[in-house]
Amino acid sequence: MKNPKAKGSQFEREIAKQLSLWLTLDKREDVLWRSSLSGGRATIAHRKGKDVRQCGDLCAVGPEGHKFCEQFFVELKHIKRLALDQFLIKGTGPLANFWRKAKHEAAKHKRQPILIARQNGWPVIVLSDALLPWTSPFIRTEDVFITRLDAWNTSLFYAWGRLGLMPTKRIPRE
């Protein structure tokens, strides 16, 4: 069995590479990369009353990723069991906790939350509080759109990244 921390780090590298390729239409795989301390740098700075540009689990290391990282707070999780059923039915479980944390952290940094998560043996899913223009959700609840990462339209994702267009159909907050 793999070390959970190593599994999470490997997942972060895989997603950074995949999103980088999408942002550049398969030209570069090094546009996004893991944030230092896996997003902990922003948490430490925030405690000291400082605001840093880098937040979340991914940061831009190339100019093609700047618009994406300026708009989105990306949290990445790969665990044994996400408990999607608990999340959808009762709003509890690991996935619910990750989503609440992502929304809270994104709000602190004035960014839109995206949680990209994977349960062992399952496809990668994406949670957002807005209908992202490059995808169609397969599940929508009161406060979240859920889609599979492999269902993202990469050419629309690329076009969005080039133009920096904001998703327009946000879920109203209470």
Any residues with CB less than 8 A from the CB of 96 and at least 6 apart, and which? 83, 86, 87
Q: Specify burial of residue 4 (Cβ count, 10 A radius: 0-12, 13-18, 19+).
A: exposed
Model confidence over 84-138: pLDDT tens digits? 999 999 999 999 999 999 999 999 999 999 999 999 999 999 999 988 878 888 8
Q: Return d(Cα 106, Cα 112) in angstroms, integer.
A: 6
Is residue 169 predicted with pLDDT exceeding 70? no
| Residues forming beta bridges with residue 113, ordered by sequence position | 73
Q: The whole model's pTM is what? A: 0.84
* pLDDT on residue 61: 95
* pLDDT higher than threshold 60 for residue 65: yes
Reported as a single tens digit per residue, the pLDDT across 136-157 is 888 888 889 999 998 887 767 7
User: What is the DSSP code string of the chain?
Assistant: ---HHHHHHHHHHHHHHHHHHHHTTTS-S-SEEEPGGGGHHHHHHHHTT---S--SSEEESSGGGHHHHHHEEEEEEEES---HHHHHHHS-SHHHHHHHHHHHHHHHTT-EEEEEEEETTS--EEEESEE-TT---SEE-SS-EEEEGGGS-HHHHHHHHHHTPPP-EEPPP-
pLDDT at position 79? 95
> In the numeric block, which tokens belong to residue 174?
């209470």
